[in-house]
Amino acid sequence: MSFPISPPNASPAVASGCAPARPRALLAGEGYLPMPCCFDALSARLIEQSGFALSFMSGFAVSAARLALPDTGLITVSEMSETRGLAP
């Protein structure tokens, strides 16, 4: 099963990919929108290449990937931001 980057009836904001209008338009649409979680740049790239229109990054996922520990407040905001900055 594949998921298109832009739905066939996408608004111009979704089709153009301008931020932050693109995620807002996608989330405002009707229906089911699968949104897998990424934890680093590689997982973000794989999600993108798989054709998902949207993704998110969670504190637990980053903490598990970077520290091999559950999200108990050990990972800092700067580490989360640094991980986000590595994404494509």
SS (H, E, C) the chain: CCCCCCCCCCCHHHHHCCCCHHHHHHHHCCCCCCCCEECCHHHHHHHHHCCCCCCEECHHHHHHHHHCCCCCCCCCHHHHHHHHHCCC
Q: Is residue 45 part of a domain?
A: yes
- Say whether pLDDT at 36 is over 90: yes
Count of domains forming the chain: 1
Q: Is residue 52 part of a domain?
A: yes
Q: Encode pLDDT of 57-88 as tens digits.
A: 888 888 888 888 888 888 888 888 888 776 54
Q: Is residue 36 part of a domain?
A: yes
* Domain with 76 in it: 32-85
pTM confidence score: 0.63
Q: Is residue 60 part of a domain?
A: yes
